[in-house]
Amino acid sequence: MTVSVTPENFTLVSYDAGEIASIIEELVGAIGLPSDLDVSIEVDESTPLGRASVTSISPLVISVESGALEDPKRPRNLSRTGSADVLGRLMFRVRDRLDPAFGDPPADNELTLPQSVAWDAYCVGRLVRLGYIHYDNRQRRLYHFRNRHGFTDSADEAFERLWTADGLSWSDIASLSDNAVGTAA
Amino acid sequence: MRKIFPADLLARDERFVRLTTEQRFMDPRSPGSRSNPRGAMKLTPDRPDAPDAARALMHGIFVGEVQALEGAGRTCWDFETGDGGDETPFALKLDMARQCWDEARHCEISVKLSDWMGTELGEFSESTFLYEAACNPDPVLRLTGVNRALEGLAIDVFNTMKEFGDIAGDPVLEFCEDWMLADEVTHVKMGSDWLRRLTEKDPERRERALEFQRIVDKLFSLGGFRGEDDDSPIRLARRFRELAGFDKEEMDDLAEISREAKADADRMREQLVAEANA
């Protein structure tokens, strides 16, 4: 496995490329991604915004804005738990996509917002069970889920299923999301 | 107990990390600049990151409520009771005591809202410039800096968050913000009324107080954070400000101050980026 971080030296933030690489290496093993995976992470340090996305699966390329890895208490400093939360969520999606049993989800940019949030809940639930805890992940993800699926009991039930599950397929996730949206409507 | 209590001695537990104004403004990356390719940053549920943006803003509201409580409490204590220039009338202290009661309730509401939204207390940094505005040695300047400028900003923030809750279908957020908004209108109205009464025969003092308000307003416009442009995250709530004693000219000035603050911030960021890349 190789991990490359761009840029190697940061000027606008106090991030350490080696620390980011070590977080990635740890997550690859914990999440169960192929051990021969080559990972590249591109950090845009010109913005404090927090967008993060997978731009290629083979080789795995992750693009993040610097805010995605930042400690909200200490601007321009890296948060190890926050970085693991963001990167781990994306890497669980990659693991799902590489698993033939998961099915064939749309490309990330073709997902609806509710579908994307539902998949995130499934990913972060598994990440938390691996011990990667960043503040109150569950309530935060529940709030995201409610914003996209309605503030209803049925939306909360769908979230609970996603949060506690393992081995779901894409059609399971899409179905839970679509049903919750439909009930709210 | 000492008079005029400095901000750096405010009691906080280990969860809270304080950020100076300088640290906040010296970040060369800040969003909303001309270099931001995403442009609009208005806080609406349409934004994919809207729930997290609302969580961060709610935490800012929470620490603001704590400091507003501390500030109003100081105004009850820091001045002798009377009608002199360095004194405060007893009725004003009663108003500040009532405001303390409101702010304490807002703290409780904010704590519960933070739980609801998945935010832990202290998850984000705290700036104390709200409290610092409440340390002015002239009680009239405290009223314009805190009650008119900062509580006025609270009107804009609560109105934006109330609309956010309404559109997102979040009944808890919508109701909580609406109730706090009602209190903020009262606090601003107190500031407007006391400014008029205390400076009725002293136009120079009134002008000093209004100038202090303009400075605080510009500082809290935070590079266009609050304004009337399409990309302003927080919108100027003209109707509620009118109820609180602001006239149209003052609100037009405020919108202009916000545009100036945004232009200043853009210039500063471009300079910081150039220095970092040199």
Q: What are the tens digits of pLDDT across the range A46-78? A: 888 899 999 999 899 999 999 999 999 999 999
A144 in contact with B at a CB cutoff of 8 Å? yes
Joined together, the tokens standing for residue B261 give: 């603050």
Query: Can you tell me the distance from the alpha carbon of B129 to that of B142, in angstroms, rounded to the nearest whole number?
Result: 13
Question: Chain A partners of B44 at a C-beta cutoff of 8 Å?
Answer: none
Structure tokens at A125: 């639930």
Average pLDDT, chain A: 96
Is residue B88 exposed (0-12), middle (13-18) or buried (19+ Cβ within 10 Å)? buried
Question: What is the rounded CA–CA span in Å between residue B181 and residue B155?
Answer: 6
Residue B222 CA, chain-centre distance (Å), reads: 10
A45 and chain B: CB distance < 8 Å anywhere?
Answer: yes
Quick check: A75 and B52 CB within 8 A? no
Are the Cβ atoms of B122 and A146 closer than 8 angstroms?
A: no
Touching check for B33 and chain A: CB below 8 Å?
A: no
In this complex, do B276 and A142 lie within 8 Å of one another by their Cβ atoms? no
Minimal Cα–Cα distance from B65 to chain A, Å?
19
Give chain B positions within 8 Å (CB) of A51. 49
Cβ pair B49:A72 closer than 8 A: no
Is residue A108 predicted with pLDDT exceeding 50? yes
SS3 category, B88: strand
Nearest-angstrom CA–CA distance, B211 and B208: 5
pLDDT value at residue B35: 40
Q: What is the mean pLDDT of residues A36-45?
A: 95
Residues in A closer than 8 angstroms to B120, CB to CB, are: 135-136
Contact state of B118 with A136 under an 8 Å Cβ cutoff: yes
**pLDDT tens readout for residues A153-178:** 999 999 999 999 999 999 999 999 99
Phi, psi of B256 (to 5 degrees): -70, -40
What pLDDT score does B40 carry?
47
Specify the pTM. 0.90
What distance in Å separates the CA atoms of residue B173 and residue B116, rounded to the nearest whole number? 9
How are beta strands B87-88 and B234-235 bridged, if at all? unpaired
Q: A9, A10, A12, A109: best mutation site toward chain B, by most B Cβ within 10 Å? A: A12
Q: Is the pLDDT of residue A185 over 90?
A: no
Which residue ranges in chain B fall short of pLDDT 70?
Answer: 30-41, 222
Q: Which of B49, B50, B118 sits opposite A142 (nearest CB)?
A: B118
pLDDT of residue A10: 96
CA dist B34 and B262 (Å) reads: 10
- How many residues are recorded in chain A? 185
Q: Do A135 and B30 touch (CB under 8 A)?
A: no
Stated as kind and residue range, the H or E segment containing A67 is: none
- Other beta carbons within 10 angstroms of residue A53's beta carbon come to 14
Choose among B19, B116, B273: nearest Cβ to A75: B19
Q: Are A62 and B44 in contact (CB under 8 A)?
A: no
Residue B25's pLDDT is 74
Reduced to 3 states (helix: H, G, I; strand: E, B; else coil), residue B154 is helix
- The minimum CA-CA distance between A11 and chain B, rounded to whole Å, is 6
Helix (H) or strand (E) holding B207: helix B203-220
Is the CB of A13 inside 8 Å of chain B's CB atoms? yes
d(CA B154, CA B191): 13
Chain A residue closest to B51 (CA)?
Answer: A144
Q: Residue B52 and residue A50: Cβ atoms within 8 Å?
A: yes
Minimal Cα distance from B24: which residue of A?
A75
Q: Do A143 and B17 touch (CB under 8 A)?
A: no
Q: Is B170's CB within 8 Å of A151's CB?
A: yes
Query: Is the Cβ of B26 closer than 8 Å to some Cβ of chain A?
Result: no
Q: Which amino acid is at B139?
A: P
* pLDDT at residue number A53: 97
Cα B139–chain centre separation? 18
Q: Does A7 touch chain B (CB under 8 A)?
A: no
The residue with greater pLDDT, B229 or A84, is A84
* ipTM passes above 0.90: yes
Q: What is the pLDDT of residue B234?
A: 86
**Token pair in block for residue B75:** 């105004």
Best residue in A115, A137, A151 to probe B by mutation, most B CBs within 10 Å? Answer: A151
Q: Specify the DSSP class assigned to residue A112.
A: -
What mean pLDDT do residues A5-24 have? Answer: 97
- Can you tell me which residue has the tokens 């500040």? B96
User: Which residue, among B53, B41, B109, has the nearest Cα to A143 in the 3D structure?
Assistant: B53
Q: What per-residue string of b and e applies to A10-35 under the rule 16 or more CB within 10 Å gives b? A: bebbebebeebbebbeebbeebebee
Q: What share of chain B is helix, strand, coil (3-state, %, to 5)?
A: 65, 5, 30
Is B39 at the interface with chain A, CB within 8 A?
no
A-chain residues within 8 Å CB-CB of B35? 46
Alpha-carbon distance A73 to A75, whole Å?
6
Q: Does A97 touch chain B (CB under 8 A)?
A: no
CA-CA distance, B145 to B263, in Å (whole number)? 22
pLDDT of residue B30: 64
